[in-house]
Amino acid sequence: AQSVSQHNHHVILSEAASLELGCNYSYGGTVNLFWYVQYPGQHLQLLLKYFSGDPLVKGIKGFEAEFIKSKFSFNLRKPSVQWSDTAEYFCAVNNYNQGGKLIFGQGTELSVKP
Amino acid sequence: EAGVVQSPRYKIIEKKQPVAFWCNPISGHNTLYWYLQNLGQGPELLIRYENEEAVDDSQLPKDRFSAERLKGVDSTLKIQPAELGDSAVYLCASSPVASGRAGGGELFFGEGSRLTVL
């Protein structure tokens, strides 16, 4: 069965530190890739997405992610985090050629200390 | 533009009682999803509708869970009877492009309905 793995359950950083959250998936076919974010008390929302083309995609609030097909990875990065980035981050993979189910990782909770 | 609306936001019931959750998707979004999110976990798909048709309900525990989307707009998810293990957040989402198609997978989520079963 297809699965999505996020490497870190909880990450704690100080403001201005760099961030990289790992995401790996198990499916070998054509996929669409997403990072969703849930700020405290808010609903899940899209941070960035990859469908095709340039494997380095940019999202909102200075986030970016790189799709490395050979490694089945889609890691999220930000050069300098802010306190307002404190949230839970979910990687998700959509294998639209195989039924189209969007599968989420277990999430990474990011805490940024001011 | 109004987002996905869910109600109730919170529900506390005793085990064996029934419960229902309601969802109103974003206008024009033909695809509607119900996800289950347990504490510390990512959302897991329960059922996906394209218009009125349930196109993926393979993860819906059909012995106690049911869902409907009459007229292809609002949807209701019901649990009867509820068990202790059903305590979770039930998320509704909608999308303009079905996740089963190229370019799909961008979902718009509601705030969720948090269920506590005592």
Nearest to B7 by CA among B113, B79, B80, B89: B113
pLDDT bracket for residue B63 (50, 70, 90): very high
Rounded to an integer, the average pLDDT of B59-77 is 93
State whether A96 and B99 contact (CB < 8 Å): yes
Q: Which residues of A touch B4 (CB under 8 A)?
A: 43
Rounded to an integer, the average pLDDT of A17-44 is 92
- Measured distance CA(B30)–CA(B75) in Å, rounded: 12
- DSSP assignment string, B4-57: -EEE-SEEEE-TT--EEEEEE--TT--EEEEEEE-TTS--EEEEEEETTEEEE-
- Measured distance CA(A47)–CA(B50) in Å, rounded: 24
Nearest to B5 by CA among B87, B98, B75: B75
Cis-peptide, bond into residue A114, ω within 30° of zero = no
Rounded to a whole number of angstroms, the distance from the CA of B103 to the nearest CA of chain A is 6
Nearest residue of chain B to residue A44 (CA atoms): B109
**Pairing between strand A108-113 and A87-94?**
antiparallel
pLDDT cut 70: percent of chain B above it: 95
CA torsion B52-A46-B27-B113 (nearest 10°) is: 70
Are B31 and B99 spatial neighbours (Cβ–Cβ below 8 Å)? yes
What's the pLDDT at B1? 67
Other C-beta atoms within 10 Å of A8: how many? 13
pLDDT tens figures, B22-46: 999 999 998 999 999 998 899 999 9
Q: Is the pLDDT of residue A1 over 80?
A: no
- Measured distance CA(B42)–CA(A91) in Å, rounded: 9
Nearest residue of chain A to residue B90 (CA atoms): A43
Rg (CA), chain B: 14
Rg (CA), chain A: 14
Instruction: Report chain B residues touching chain A, CB-CB < 8 A.
Output: 3-4, 33, 40-45, 48, 56, 91, 93, 98-112
Helix (H) or strand (E) holding A35: strand A32-38
Place of tokens 């005592």: B118
**Nearest by CB: B101 against A90, A100, A103:** A100
What is the three-class DSSP state of B58? coil
pLDDT bracket for residue B97 (50, 70, 90): confident
State whether A92 and B42 contact (CB < 8 Å): yes
What's the pLDDT at B60? 94
- Measured distance CA(A70)–CA(B88) in Å, rounded: 36
pLDDT tens figures, A94-112: 876 666 788 999 999 999 9
Place of tokens 């076919």: A29
